[in-house]
Amino acid sequence: MGLALIPLNAYWVILAEMRWYMILTLNPLFVTPVFFLLLLVAANAVFRVVCPQWVLSVPELLVVYVMLAISCTVATHDFIINLITTMGWGTWFATPENKWETTIFPHIPRWALVWDHGVLEGFMEGGESPYRAQVLLGWGPPLLIWLGLVLVMFGVMLCLNVMVRKAWIEETKLSFPVVRLPLAMVGIDTPGFFRSSLTWVGAVLPILNGTLSGLARLYPALPHFETRARWPRFADPPWNRLGAPYSFYPFAIGLGYFVPLDVLFSCWFFYLFIKAQIVVGHYVGVARLPGYPFVMEQGIGAWTMYGALMLYLTREHWKRLFTAIWQREEVDDPDELLPHRLALGGITIGLLVILCFWRVAGMTLLPALVAVGLYFLLALSITRVRAESGSQHTVWDLEPMNVFPLAGTDALGKGNLIGAGLSHWFWRLNRSHAMPTQLEALKLWHSAGLRPRELALPMVLATVASTFAGAWACLHVGYTEGAATKCIGYANWTGHEVYNWLNHMLVVGRPAEWPRVVTVLLASGFTFVLWRLQLRYPWLWLHPLGYCAGPGLIWVWCPFLIAWVLKSTIVRYGGQRLYRRLIPLFLGLILGDYIIGCIWAIVSPILNFQGYQIFH
């Protein structure tokens, strides 16, 4: 059932996001898997009465959910759509004026992109079939190479999760807010979830408002409450530079309820902390520095130090594992997803393959090592952040396009700049990341009291099937609808970012700028200080996770602030008893918002207009 639903889910997501820009996968809890799980739970309720032998068990429900969640890490706005855009953008938009054919194309490997303008014509303009020999031969070879890289990266992530699963799920017992709703829906975490009146009170509010909001696109006079992001307008500096939208997403408020209070506070506090730097910098005169307040550089330092601290805090776990593997002692739990020695071998071989890939793409050894190392350090860090906060993560600070220029382009060479640009599609924002989804699947399985090894085959099959289904869905929607003509969500931004950056770096370049380097070092030190303060003064509620993730919470900082106010008030005046009693209400907020979002994602393509959007 999971394999059968993956192509349907991939097509639905790509059609909604690429054609209509109705976002379903940029939140840590993906929308469509929850909707499919709800349909299966509803079908179960009917089967219990009319056909009991057809009832799906809890493990069967979770397997389908996990496979669909994994598919959303590929068939998504910030992954496969970015890849398809990058592969065709340069050839289609190259002109004599931008001179890409002489400045960029000679340095890009021929196997990396689609070079046939005739093949791209149908994709960009639509109205053609992708199932033609010319199209398959034009897209097939480069796409297979990139999809092979995707499978290797996902395999390394799965092996890394084997290494950290026990430490982060069984020993540290992180909160994992993202898994609370699916667990409640299958009857594990919140017994009687669907029978609770609070669940339906929470669900009815976003369903009603979402219905009115969608209809208001057709009938603007219809009363409704706008939950999507709105941008306040200021005319005078420094307020006109803030760029701080506010929103009231029901699903984000619901998710925030399950985040620890110190993490919840830190997330919205450090978002405003960055904005305060703009205001203060204007009045003290440092805002004139090019690049101030160096948000990207602060992110580079914060995420690097956070990743290093995360590895340091789990050093005993790593030491125990590596010592046992080295001394050939018995380290494997027979129920583990994979044997630890096999996982370590998979990590080693996978990293070498990825390193060789970027060497073949033109990167030299040291920059390739830095790029690969930073990517998987960030993968571990994002996984930890999702496990602790469940927040959306908008992270591209550590990607080579931002890190490499710190040393100056003259020291890099053209091959490393090309590699940095070609990797942008999977580095961009990292909102639909595979590694945290894999660990959340293992957390679901553990909470159900099941053996992790039983989940290995479904996860591997889902990864392979999703990789190819996502690519197929992108090409099908592009050729039938027209990526550059009708597709509102075609990743134009990714194409502009990659090729404009490459053109600037290859033609103009950038010298090493010491203010940026100093900012990276200061941000690293500040993250370390926050960690020490958290250990010594936990009542300060300044978690280093917030300094990493907070500045990127452009869309959900306000819902997290609302959730913090609600949760802190509930806990202070009602204690843990009231907190637990209200869990169905906040889970209902998430469920109701997702239900109406999915309904509009079905209705909008049929009626040919953009209806209510959950997010963005």
Per residue in 527-574, pLDDT (tens digit) is: 999 999 999 998 888 999 999 999 989 889 999 999 999 999 999 999
Where in the chain are the domains? 2-607
Integer CA distances (angstroms), 404 to 292, 356, 591, in order: 19, 19, 42
Give Cα 601 to chain centroid, integer Å.
Answer: 20
Residue 330: its pLDDT value, please? 63
Spatial contact of 422 and 495, defined as CB atoms under 8 Å apart: no
Q: Which residues contact 597 (CB under 8 A, 6 or more apart)?
A: 22, 24, 31, 210, 612, 613, 614
Per the structure block, which two tokens stand in for 50? 């009319």
- Does 334 have pLDDT greater than 80? no
Mean pLDDT check: name the lowest of 54-68, 391-405, 513-527, 581-595. 391-405
Report helix, strand and coil shares of the chain as percent, to nearest 5. 70, 0, 30
pLDDT tens digits, one per residue of 426-441? 999 888 899 999 999 9
Average pLDDT (127-137) is 94
Residue 331: its pLDDT value, please? 63
Residue 285: its pLDDT value, please? 87
pLDDT tens digits, one per residue of 214-241? 999 888 888 889 998 898 888 888 888 8
Give Cα 459 to chain centroid, integer Å.
Answer: 18
Using a cut of 0.85, tell me whether the model's pTM lies above it. Answer: yes
Give per-residue burial for 366-391: e unless 16+ CB within 10 Å, then b.
ebbebbbebbbbbbbbbbbbbbbbbb
Which 3 state secondary structure label does DSSP give 246?
strand
What DSSP state is assigned to residue 541? -
Spatial contact of 17 and 52, defined as CB atoms under 8 Å apart: no
**Structure confidence at residue 92 as a pLDDT band (50, 70, 90):** very high
Name the residue with tokens 């860090």.
381
Closest CA to 325 of 338, 335, 314: 338
Residues 472 and 476: their CA atoms lie apart, in Å, by 6
Per the structure block, which two tokens stand in for 435? 């590694």
For every residue of 410-459, DSSP letters joined together read: GGT-HHHHHHHHHTHHHHSS-TT-HHHHHHHHHHHHHHTT--GGGGHHHH
For every residue of 492-514, DSSP letters joined together read: HHHHHHHHHHHHHHHHT-----H
- Does 332 have pLDDT greater than 70? no
Residues 37 and 41: their CA atoms lie apart, in Å, by 6
Residues 288 and 381: their CA atoms lie apart, in Å, by 33
pLDDT tens digits, one per residue of 242-262? 888 999 999 999 999 999 999
Per the structure block, which two tokens stand in for 174? 């992180």
Q: What are phi and psi of 390, to 5 degrees?
A: 65, 10
Residue 50: its pLDDT value, please? 93
Q: Which residues contact 232 (CB under 8 A, 6 or more apart)?
A: 242, 244, 245, 246
Spatial contact of 188 and 448, defined as CB atoms under 8 Å apart: yes
Name the residue with tokens 């003064």.
537
Measured from the Cβ of residue 533, the count of other Cβ atoms closer than 10 Å reads 14
- Tell me what the pLDDT averaged over the chain comes to: 93
Per the structure block, which two tokens stand in for 286? 């440092």
Give Cα 395 to chain centroid, integer Å.
Answer: 9
Residues 134 and 287: their CA atoms lie apart, in Å, by 53
